[in-house]
Amino acid sequence: FFFKEIMIKRYGFPLKQATASTTGEYISELTSGFVRKLTKTTGNNYNIHRSNRAKEGLYHGKDVRFGNTVSHSHTKTRRSWHPNVQNKRVWSDTLNDWVRFKMTTTAMKEIDNIGGVDMYLLSMDNATVKDSNYVTKIRSLIASKLFHQGLLHEVIVKKMGYHKNPPPKIEEDNTSQSLKKEKP
């Protein structure tokens, strides 16, 4: 019970494991309660700069950090800490295909927690997504496919702007071909 309250407070909905038979129902159920923005900038919005590398992948708020290496004699030497970035391919239930991303291990854990890359991309705020053409493209493919299946909640429909301009219907062949043409 306590865990469920924490998940509702943290994500805006209780988490559960998705099965292959209930994936569509699971996505529509989860998208009904989105309030949380998963990718926030580090430093409580004081640091709004993101590196170009972080803009092109799923970094989940992680970026290069800078500081000093302090020796025994207290000589300070500048150094940097890089996030743990992996080239990863993740399965998209909506697109029925693998999608490649550069992502941090924090983003991988969050994708597992939230229930898949589809839900993760739909829950990202527009300011984070607009920096990367590839992330924007995959997110709009997922959202338009769910919109035409009737599984996209009205909150995300408004967030994506589909209440004003519905997306064109995408055929199955074009989706898989466009994913194979462009890779990050």
pLDDT digits (tens, 9 = 90+) for 29-67: 554 444 344 444 444 554 567 888 888 899 998 999 999
Residue 40: the pLDDT is 47
pLDDT band at 18 (very low <50, low <70, confident <90, very high): very low
Q: Supply 151's token pair.
A: 């599984």
| DSSP code of residue 148 | H
**Residue 148: which residues within 8 A CB-CB, separation 6 or more?**
167, 169, 170
Q: What is the pTM of this model?
A: 0.67
Across the range 1-14, mean pLDDT stands at 54
- Decide if pLDDT at 26 tops 60: no
Across the range 71-90, mean pLDDT stands at 96
Q: Taking a C-beta distance cutoff of 8 angstroms, is the pair 124, 138 a contact?
A: no
Q: Taking a C-beta distance cutoff of 8 angstroms, is the pair 68, 77 a contact?
A: yes
Residue 50: the pLDDT is 82
Across the range 82-86, mean pLDDT stands at 96
Across the range 75-93, mean pLDDT stands at 96
pLDDT band at 149 (very low <50, low <70, confident <90, very high): confident
- Looking from the CA of 167 toward its CB, the CA atoms found within 13 Å total 22
